[in-house]
Structure 1
Amino acid sequence: MSYHQPVMLQECLEGLQLREGGVYVDLTFGGGGHSRAILSALCGGRLFGFDQDDDARKQAEHIDDTRFQFVQANFRYLKRYLKLYGVQQVDGILADLGVSSHQLDEAERGFSTRFNAVLDMRMDQQGSLTAKEVLNTYSEKDLHRLLGQFGEVRNARTLAGALVAARTNQPFEQIDELKAVVNRFAPKGKEYKYQAQVFQALRIEVNDELRALEEALEQSAEVLAEGGRLVVMSYHSLEDRLVKNFMAKGKFRGEMEKDFYGNMIRPLVPVTRKPVEAGEEEIATNSRARSAKLRIAEKV
């Protein structure tokens, strides 16, 4: 728990509706908080924990349970690895999206604005693309696109131009160098939020997070058994919108499709109309819970 304090732990377990002898997947193992809770509550069965981060693999080594299998891979490869282990269907899938507390607290990973470090932001440390490379090689047009689309930065075009101008004098290496440019365009009193938006945009680009999430959601619907549950917790509107649309409409964009008889074509049915949110008591002890939205859907 010191590695990463899981958000809405009890709500996640209740959402999964664990079945005796069931097969479950934790798509975002992280520090293993949710996985340990699932194993404690699960009678028999199996649990697969996915995570591409090598630090997560080290945490998984502390779980001594024959029912547990750690998979060091991006969750976009869900079907591939389940097939490798001879699993065709599962009874529940959990995803706690975003950056773990541990990743934010490890200065050298470059995820947090609190520390000065090399601009990295890779969740898979074997990956080739870093935030430094994005900042130093992307065109002004592409920087404008990702800042506006992934960070929802209001003056994205202006900031993109300033970043390109700054790197011509000296390529970006450290977080503080980026913050020095970013802070010139941040609204007064909202510097931290503005920095967070820029960091979010870079992190999503480096890790291809939104496309990976779409692939994982589609595969989750395919491998879930009838009556199985998909439980997803997101922390910003871009992720939550994808999850909400997929659960409600079976697609990420556009209107819901219907068959000849007017029946909705979708693999999942939302269990709750609105997302579940953390209570004030949990938020007081874990600030990360403040922005969390938990959505639950069932395979039909």
Structure 2
Amino acid sequence: MNLQYHHKPVLIKESIENLITHKNGIYVDATFGGGGHSNAILKKLDKKATLIALDQDKESIKKNFIKDKRFHLFHNNFIHIRDILNKNRIYKISGILADLGISSLQMDNITRGFSNQYNCILDMRMNQESFYSAQNVLNECSKQELFHIFYEYGEFKNAKKIAEKILKERLKKNITTTLDLVHIFFIKGSFKKRKRFFARLFQSIRIEVNNEINVLKNFLLESSKILLPGGRIAIISYHSIEDRIIKFFFKKGIIINKINFKTIPFKMIHKKVIKPSFQEIINNPRSRSARLRIAEKT
């Protein structure tokens, strides 16, 4: 095994220990990223096991690789998980893991536009083959569309004012860089308050660019079809929007506007959400907002 890029996988002990119930089974790492979770899963599996990994970011695939005959990596969004498995004549699996966060590779690359800490072109595409970027969102979306993005994905109470400021600014010139966006807003208060505002602002735009909420909902539905009875799903999320969707689906088997199961297809392994330990947060500050939920197919 060989990982080229230094990566700190989040909640690795908690997720892997609760995921693997059959050491010769077929498992899926739906969000390969830096490869840390895949590497840990392989260490727990026996020789006859199989691990399928997916990532829509070609840069992650190029920078990180694992040499292991049990391991198979595909360039694709995890919304297509069932299609990928079926093409490889795999119809049921023992477990699936998804880490919904941005990888350190994406965040630290100043050309990708995910962070407001660097001045760079606004991009935020996880799949760089996509034609829809943060610039399209900020310069082309209507006032109503922008309101929806900031209200639903950033949970801003003043979403209308934020949308209006962006519309006013883009009449003067296109919003093309992270600094262009940051300079639109003057946030009174502490450094912590300003940091939280821009974190939520960038988050909401990124969610829209990558269609993250719809992708998650469809992924959850697909997971219920491909897991064996007794198979487990572990999902790490980083904000309340995703966590609510995951929690509701695991408990009720329901995704609003998608499906209503007559019987709940999962049972929760832990009643309470699993959070990083104090020590993990010290070692990896980016883990502080991580939330892990694990469920078993009934």
Distance 1:187 1:127 in 2: 36
**What residue in structure 2 maps to residue 59 of structure 1?**
63
Q: Which runs of 5+ in 2 are unaligned?
A: none
Shift of 1:187: 4.4
- 1:1-300 to structure 2, matched below 5 A, reads 2-44=5-47, 45-60=49-64, 62-182=65-185, 184=186, 186-189=187-190, 190-253=193-256, 265-300=263-298
Native 8 Å contact 1:50 1:73 kept in 2: yes
Residues 26 and 34, structure 1, Cα contact 8 Å, conserved in 2? yes
Q: For the aligned residues, what is the CA RMSD? A: 1.5
Decide whether aligned partners of structure 1 residues 258 and 85 sit closer, same or farther in structure 2, where only a CA change above 3 A counts.
closer
Distance 1:5 1:18 in 2: 24
Q: Residues 179-201 of structure 1, C-alpha deviation per residue, up to 9 Å, x if partnerless? A: 0013x2x3421111101111001
2:8 is paired with a residue whose SS is: coil
Counterpart Cα distance in 2 of 1:4 and 1:239: 23
Contact 1:32 1:59 in 2 (8 A): no
Q: Tell me how far apart the structure 2 counterparts of residues 59 and 271 of structure 1 sit (CA, whole Å).
A: 34
Please say which of residues 115-124 and 139-148 is displaced more in the overlay: 139-148
Between the aligned partners of 1:200 and 1:187, the Cα distance in structure 2 is 20
Where structure 1 has 5 or more consecutive residues not aligned to the other structure, the ranges are: 260-264
SS at match of 2:271: coil
Q: Secondary structure at the match of 2:229?
A: strand
Aligned partners of 2:261 and 2:120: how far apart in 1?
51
Percent identity of paired positions between Structure 1 and Structure 2? 38
* 1:267 alignment partner AA: P
Shift of 1:222: 0.7
Question: What SS class does the counterpart of residue 125 from structure 1 fall into?
Answer: coil
Residue 155 of structure 1 deviates from its aligned partner by: 1.1
- Could you tell me which amino acid in structure 2 is paired with residue 288 of structure 1? R
Q: In the TM superposition, what is the alpha-carbon distance from 1:213 to its structure 2 partner?
A: 0.5
- Residues 227-284 of structure 1, C-alpha deviations (whole Å, 9 max, x = no match): 0000001010011011101111111249x9686xxxxx11111111111111111111
For the 8 Å contact 1:109–1:122, the answer to whether it is kept is yes
| TM-score, length-scaled by structure 2 | 0.94
Distance 1:294 1:101 in 2: 19
